[in-house]
């Protein structure tokens, strides 16, 4: 058992690692409550057959930093059900898992890979708390309103000065034109920017004269592919790397920018829509090339900020206002700190998040 402490614990947490097993249904689950100094941890329930304790811990820790930096009264937590999300047993497993965490007030579950608003409704029904609910249960449909994409556009409003670009007329490239990517493109277009390229699993669409975001969103919803847009050039999926632009929004997968391709990027500002889209070495190369890269937990916090407003019974309007206020403030704080110390923004963001968690921890009883 002491191995678990050696492997995972440090000065920030985790407070609890709980394994859940129910022999009759076959439920196997892991709950990690990392740090609740600022308030109960918000973090998703992931449902996948192969999630490890280390992965759940890393995801919980990432939520600790993201929530602290977002300035919401929540710590970090995460959990996983080790099962295929298409199992016919899904409702039983989720309900049992929820009951197992009934008394863990330090954890507010939300949706993640393999779970959705229906899963969250089952969780709420069992234990009276969850976020990411449907409207009828008081939820704010964060994917439908584009909470994360909106936050990315607010982030761009602040970061433009640091990247020495103007949003008006800025050329935008989106890798992964899904929920986050399409809404980011729409909110950036509203601010005068022009979408010049968008990609998905099947290819890249490129038009240096500009792509109509609404039209592309409709086509992607109807056909599932960006390359069915009439007009522009159809290029291979990974062609985005060499497309010149001002703002690049990676909004698909982790680790897409690394030490091999970072040198090829022809942009001035990166807004990280996906989680960890840039490796540590990639960040260093971008920084040395003068590209401003705003880290995920600053730029894509719109979704979790929205969830926190939902948890307090707030409205959609309040969610937009809070996202705007928090992301504006945090982007400026991180970029100012990075500039003052000639630091990579991701390092400055982590410094700030750690300071906030340490400050919240200082108010807690230690004996
Ligand atoms: P999504 O499934 O709606 O969209 C992802 C898009 O990326 C799809 O169009 C898919 O075709 C495309 N894609 C996948 N692999 C690709 C590849 N290799 N090259 C190009 N395109 C590729 O998902 P989403 O909700 O938009 O989330 C995107 C990312 O943002 C994920 O990493 C997610 O964890 C992260 N994120 C999402 C939110 C949110 O509010 N939804 C919040 C924070 C972070």
Cα(251)–Cα(234) distance, integer angstroms: 19
Residue 189 and residue 249 share a domain: yes
Predicted local confidence at residue 111, as pLDDT:
92
Q: Are residues 127 and 155 in the same domain?
A: no
56 is a domain residue: yes
pLDDT digits (tens, 9 = 90+) for 205-225: 999 999 999 999 999 999 999
Does residue 51 register a pLDDT over 90? yes
Residues with CB under 6 A from ligand 1: 142-143, 148, 175-181, 199-201, 237, 251-253, 273-275, 300, 303
In a domain, 118, yes or no: yes
pLDDT band at 4, cuts 50/70/90?
confident
Alpha helices in 24-131 (DSSP H): 53-70, 90-100, 117-127
Residue 326 sits in the same domain as residue 277: yes
Q: What confidence tier does 1 reach under pLDDT thresholds 50, 70, 90?
A: low
Q: Residues 38-60: what's their mean pLDDT?
A: 95
Residues 101, 160 within the same domain: no
Mean pLDDT confidence for 283-298: 96
Q: Which residues pair with 248 in a beta bridge?
A: 173, 270
Residues 296-320 have pLDDT tens digits of: 999 999 999 999 999 999 999 999 9
**One domain for residues 91 and 233:** no
Query: Which pLDDT band holds residue 6 (cuts at 50, 70, 90)?
Result: confident
Q: Which residues does the annotation mark as catalytic?
A: 78
In the chain, the number of structural domains is 2
Residue-wise pLDDT for 184-200, tens only, equals 999 999 999 999 999 99
Based on the fold, state whether residues 187 and 40 are members of the same structural domain.
no
Q: What is the CATH number of the domain that holds 164?
A: 3.40.50.720
Average of per-residue pLDDT across 135-156? 94
- Same domain flag for 199 and 121: no
Q: Are residues 220 and 243 in the same domain?
A: yes
- Does the structure show a pLDDT above 90 at 143? no
* Distance (Å, whole) CA 115 – CA 295: 25
* pLDDT at residue 147 tops 70: yes
Give the mean pLDDT of the chain. 96
Calpha distance 90→84 (Å, rounded)? 8
Domain boundary among 138, 161, 181: 138
CA of 27 to the centre of ligand 1 (A): 28
- pLDDT per position as a tens digit, 225-234: 999 999 999 9
Ligand 1 centroid distance, CA of 200 (Å): 9
- For ligand 1, pick from 120, 149, 239, 251 the residue to mutate: most ligand atoms within 8 Å of CB: 251
| Helices within the chain (DSSP H only) | 2-8, 53-70, 90-100, 117-127, 142-145, 147-163, 179-190, 213-223, 280-288, 296-299, 302-311, 316-340, 345-362
For residue 102, the enclosing domain spans 2-62+75-138
Question: Ligand 1 mean position to 111 CA, how many Å?
Answer: 14
In a domain, 365, yes or no: no
Ligand 1 atom showing the smallest separation from residue 254 Cα? 32
CA–centroid distance, 250 to ligand 1, in Å, is 9
Quick check: is 35 in a domain? yes
**What's the mean pLDDT in 39-61?**
95
pLDDT surpasses 60 at 164: yes
- What is the pLDDT at residue 337? 97
Question: Distance, CA 61 to ligand 1 centroid (Å)?
Answer: 21
199 and 311 co-located in one domain:
yes
Name the domain boundary from 108, 138, 168: 138
- Residue 260: inside a domain: yes
Q: Stretch 50-67: mean pLDDT, rounded?
A: 94
Nearest residue (by CA) to ligand 1, atom 31, is 274
Domain end among 90, 116, 138? 138
Pairing of strands 76-81, 41-47: parallel
The pTM of the full predicted model, rounded to 2 decimals, is 0.93
CB atoms within 10 A of CB 176: 24
Probe residue for ligand 1, chosen from 62, 178, 257, 276 as the CB with the greatest number of ligand atoms within 8 Å:
178
Q: Does one domain contain both 42 and 168? A: no
On whether both 100 and 216 belong to a single domain, the answer is no
Residue 366: pLDDT band (50, 70, 90) is confident
Question: Is 341 within a domain?
Answer: yes
Distance of CA 35 to the CA centre of its chain: 18
- Say if 197 falls within a structural domain: yes
DSSP 258: -
- Tell me the per-residue pLDDT of 234-267, one tens digit each, with 9 for 90 and over: 999 999 999 999 999 999 988 999 999 999 999 9
Q: Of 46, 63, 180, 271, which is best to mutate to test ligand 1, by the most ligand atoms within 8 angstroms of its C-beta?
A: 180
| Residue 106 is assigned to a structural domain of this protein | yes
pLDDT tens across 83-142, in order? Answer: 999 999 999 999 999 999 999 999 999 999 899 999 999 999 999 999 999 999 999 998
Same domain, 82 and 114: yes
CATH of the domain at 114: 3.40.50.10860
């Amino acid at each position: 058992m002491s191995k678990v402490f050696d492997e995972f614990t440090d000065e920030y947490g985790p407070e609890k690692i709980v394994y859940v097993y129910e022999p009759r249904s076959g439920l196997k689950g892991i709950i990690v409550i990392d740090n609740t100094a600022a308030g109960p941890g918000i973090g998703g329930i992931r449902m996948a057959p192969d999630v490890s304790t280390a992965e759940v811990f890393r995801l919980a820790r990432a939520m600790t930093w993201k929530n602290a930096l977002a300035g919401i009264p929540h710590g970090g937590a995460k959990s996983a059900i080790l099962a295929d999300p298409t199992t016919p047993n899904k409702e039983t497993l989720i309900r049992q898992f929820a009951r197992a965490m009934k008394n863990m007030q330090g954890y507010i579950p939300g949706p993640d890979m393999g779970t959705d608003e229906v899963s969250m409704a089952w969780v709420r029904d069992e234990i009276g708390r969850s976020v990411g609910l449907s409207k009828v249960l008081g939820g704010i449909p964060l994917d439908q309103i584009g909470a994360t994409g909106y936050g990315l556009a607010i982030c761009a409003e602040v970061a433009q000065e640091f990247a020495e670009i103007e949003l008006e007329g800025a050329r935008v490239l989106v890798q992964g034109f899904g929920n986050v990517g399409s809404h980011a493109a729409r909110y950036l277009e509203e601010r005068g920017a022009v979408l010049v390229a968008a990609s998905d699993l099947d290819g890249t669409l490129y038009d240096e004269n500009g792509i109509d975001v609404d039209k592309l969103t409709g086509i992607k919803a109807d056909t599932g592919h960006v390359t069915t847009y009439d007009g522009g050039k159809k290029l291979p999926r990974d062609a985005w790397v060499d497309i010149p632009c001002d703002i690049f929004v990676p909004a698909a997968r982790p680790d897409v920018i690394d030490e091999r391709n970072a040198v090829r990027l022809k942009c001035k500002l990166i807004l990280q829509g996906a989680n960890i889209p840039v490796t540590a070495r990639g960040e260093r190369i971008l920084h040395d090339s003068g590209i401003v890269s705003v880290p995920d937990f600053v730029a894509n916090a719109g979704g979790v900020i929205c969830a926190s407003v939902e948890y307090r019974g707030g409205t959609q309007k309040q969610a937009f206002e809070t996202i705007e206020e928090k992301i504006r403030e945090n982007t400026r704080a991180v970029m100012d700190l990075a500039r003052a110390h000639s630091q990579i923004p991701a390092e400055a963001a982590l410094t700030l998040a750690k300071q906030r968690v340490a400050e919240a921890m200082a108010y807690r009883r230690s004996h």
